[in-house]
Amino acid sequence: MARAPISVVIPTLNSADDLAPCLASLTEGLSAGLIREVIVTDGGSTDGTLALADHAGANVVSGAKSRGGQLRRGCADAKGDWLLILHADTQMGQGWTAAVLDHISGDADRAGYFRLAFRAHGLGARNVAAWANVRSRLFALPYGDQGLLIPTALYHQVGGFPEIALMEDVALVRRLRGRLTRVDATASTSADKYLRQGWIKRGGLNLLMLLRFLAGTDPEKLAREYAADKGA
């Protein structure tokens, strides 16, 4: 019998509250025989993240805090032919397995990202998600909270995630130009930071961070600013 094709890789840092529903959203992939393993790559959690991952049967990889470094370690440990990269606060929408099967069977040499939605109501949530989906389609720049499905061979061919603390997702997808397409399924992500700071303010800060990164600003500097902004 053929092995399940997908290794799911999830970076965590004190993510216990988010990880349980993220893992629950993967259940249909397990039932469909798509998921070979789940790898939780942790950056030093002090809450119940590791206990939850262990209870769920995930493989745990631990190391220094840095989302790019964590993802690089997790992907290096993966054994599947495909990688599904998910943030801990992202949940796959119902019916995602059919869309992923279509992609794997029809676009075996291309990476895919998912349509973004926020787990929040109102015009702000719809507008910011709509902009993210337009940005992804027109400029081939999806963010990590939309999920990334990529053949393992292609991941290694383009050099994988860089070991940077922020914008590791943008750095990787820029290397995938021409080999990146949208998968017809939804990934919903947390709206907590938008609800704290406001949709316009947080969305504007994110856009400014992207532009500064593309202009060459040190990702470590951006990561420090982002962490400070999130706590505002």
Residue 160: the pLDDT is: 96
Domains by residue range for the chain, with CATH? 6-191 (3.90.550.10)
Cα separation, 93 vs 148, in Å, equals 14
Please report the pLDDT score of residue 230 as a whole number.
Answer: 59
How many other C-beta atoms can be found within 10 angstroms of the C-beta atom of residue 198?
A: 12
- In whole angstroms, what is the distance from residue 194 CA to residue 104 CA? 33
Q: How far apart are CA 207 and CA 108, in angstroms?
A: 32
* The pLDDT value given to residue 232: 43
Tens digit of pLDDT per residue, the chain (232 long)? 578 999 999 999 999 999 999 999 999 999 999 999 999 999 999 999 999 999 999 999 999 999 999 999 999 999 999 999 999 999 999 999 999 999 999 878 999 999 999 999 999 999 999 999 999 999 999 999 999 999 999 999 999 999 998 999 999 999 999 999 999 999 999 999 999 999 999 999 889 999 999 999 999 898 888 877 754 4
User: Two tokens at 67?
Assistant: 């989302």
CA 204 – CA 25 distance, rounded (Å): 30
pLDDT of residue 226: 82
